A = this chain, B = another copy of it.
Amino acid sequence: MRRWNGWGDDQFSLELPEQGQSFLSERIGAATPLQDTTLASVCASVPESRLPADASVDDLIDRTPETRVRHARGQSLADWLAMRSGEIGEFPDGVAFPKTNTDVRTLLHFAQEQDVHLIPYGGGTSVAGHINPVDQGKPVLTVSLASLNRMIDLDRESQVATFGAGTPGPLVESQLRAQGYTLGHFPQSFELSTIGGWVASRSSGQQSLRYGRIEQLFAGGRIETLQGTLNLPTIPASSAGPDIREMILGSEGRLGMITEVKARVSQLPEQESFHVVFFPNWNDARTAARRLVQNRVQLSMLRLSNAIETETQLALAGHPRLIGLLERFLAFRGADEGKCMMTFGVTGTRPQCRAALAEARKICASQQGVYTGTKLGAKWAEKRFTMPYLREALWHMGYAVDTLETATDWDNVDNLLNSMETNLREGLADRNERTHVFTHLSHFYGQGCSIYTTYVFRVADTYEETLSRWQHLKNTTSELIVQNRGTISHQHGVGKDHAPFLPVEKGELGMRAIRSLTDSFDPDQRLNPKTLLD
């Protein structure tokens, strides 16, 4: 069953190998875990539902405490601390499970008539507070699109597939693969997040280099709004005025509820493999990555870990003897202290893969890269969605882990990366706490790339102080990002946590443009209030 207070299926857990524990303990000290509360105790704390009875929707709504608890929070670290401590604050007053577009329209009508706020809910994997209710003095109904989880149509000629918006990653891929197709959208939240959620929050997947971001994959669909149904036709490209698709992408439920997504799919590739190269230093590694993408080498994924992430990953991987051998080999080839690991994928027809691999190896070699083949790449592919489970393992050891991500132009990558890492590393110094911080670049563009930084710190004696540590690190670094030419989010969206930082990025007139859309579609702010625009 899905964990009520953390990530994924409770039948699956990861162990941190022994040397991983000692590595962290050396870096930031041994830790003592906090005590988690129980589901039963949280359920007992859930207040009465404020939702009015209404025969038109009562069949669709579950008001039981457990369901309300299970839909109250996402997966940000603040959400974890809330769920683990039991201090959840706001709960939805009920959770609706519409089975059809008509059900969704009925729920919107109900909200309008009964002055109820609605929160659309996909996989509940937001790490930015998208689906958390806020107290506005109105009843809140969370609308789970979980029942809209089928592939409705597949047009093989146009390679457009239509899905119910609540279809989660694995069901998107399994329904497509059965027909020889793939969407190719693999965010780390893939196991739980949904295709409608990807559109609503402008998601990006690990193989965006080949398949594109969700902006490129979203061909059209159906959005139920308080003003009626918005049908977005599928047209491959158009110069007919501003693109309405692009107003829905990233709208985070503020304009309406996405119920159907038409997505651009691809035939399953003939071949796919992932390769690992080590570079002796960051400068060569970063230059190689930039050259790969600016030369349009046909890769399907690219990820570049900085020296600390490389060291951390090797330490946490287990298999100390094998890793020791690898490190001696790399040292012999010139990649020793300070080495940086690059993982890249080649996907496509056999000739495409052959050509891309040859070009990639050549560019890497010219920047002193040491090619190590596909073994470590296969490991990456095998574990590509398991990182969130490690959070659970660390939690039980007394460590809190969170990530921060942005994107910026190439000329600013090092500056922003270093500022973010320094701010996180030194952020708890006045509380006499250390933070372990490491970063990778991924999602590469000719113009720049995303920066994805992970930080680990010890939980404090109390939940309150632990939350305060996190808030300090998160908020100061977020401010630093938007003040230094970074986007407040490359792939996690805005939600409630990033909303205060959005105006710096969009500017006053940019915010006005977004507000003119929400004012037009939802003048009374009934749909996911305080998300995106606070």
Seen from chain A, the residues whose Cβ lies within 8 Å of a Cβ on chain B are: 155, 157-160, 201-204, 210, 213, 215, 219, 225, 227-244, 246-252, 264, 266-267, 290, 294-298, 348-349, 351-352, 354-355, 358-359, 407-412, 443, 445-450, 485-494, 498, 502, 505-510, 512-517, 519-521, 532
Contact = CB atoms under 8 A, between A and B. Distances in A.
A242 B237 contact: no
Nearest to A446: B159
Nearest to A493: B239
A160 B252 CA distance: 30
B227 A512 contact: yes
A298 B297 CA distance: 10
The dominant DSSP class at the A interface is mixed
A349 B298 CA distance: 12
A74 to B, nearest CB: 15
Contacts of A492: 239
Contact of A411 (B157, B507, B512): B157
A247 B240 contact: no
Contacts of A349: 295, 359
A113 to B, nearest CB: 20
Contacts of A157: 290, 409-411
Nearest to A203: B239
Contacts of A411: 155, 157-158
B409 A235 contact: yes
A142 B392 CA distance: 63
Most B Cβ at <10 Å: residue of A351, A446, A447:
A447
Contacts of A517: 242, 513, 516-517
B351 A235 contact: no
A519 B515 CA distance: 12
Given A204-B239, A359-B352, A520 B514 contact: no
B243 A250 contact: yes
A241 B502 contact: yes
A225 B509 contact: yes
A450 B409 contact: no
A203 B237 CA distance: 11
Given A159-B294, A447-B158, A250 B244 contact: no
B489 A447 contact: no
A157 B413 CA distance: 11
A445 B264 CA distance: 10
B446 A264 contact: yes
How many copies of this chain? Answer: 2
Most B Cβ at <10 Å: residue of A248, A249, A445:
A445
A409 B155 contact: yes
B236 A407 contact: yes
A269 B239 CA distance: 27
Contact of A236 (B229, B248, B447, B508): B447
Contacts of A351: 355, 358-359
Contacts of A449: 236
B294 A296 contact: no
A266 to B, nearest CB: 7
B238 A249 contact: no
A267 B250 contact: no
A231 B410 contact: no
A264 B447 contact: yes
B509 A228 contact: yes
A112 B157 CA distance: 51
Given A158-B448, A510-B244, A238 B202 contact: yes
A240 B239 CA distance: 24
Contacts of A407: 235-238
Given A228-B509, A512-B520, A532-B241, A158 B250 contact: no
Given A409-B235, A447-B264, A494 B358 contact: no
Given A242-B249, A351-B359, A488-B240, A516 B520 contact: yes
A448 B238 CA distance: 11
A515 B239 CA distance: 17
A416 to B, nearest CB: 11
3 smallest CB-CB distances across A and B, nearest first, come from: A202-B239, A246-B246, A516-B520
Nearest to A155: B411
A507 B240 contact: no
B213 A237 contact: yes
Contacts of A233: 485, 505
Contacts of A246: 242-243, 246-247
Contacts of A215: 243
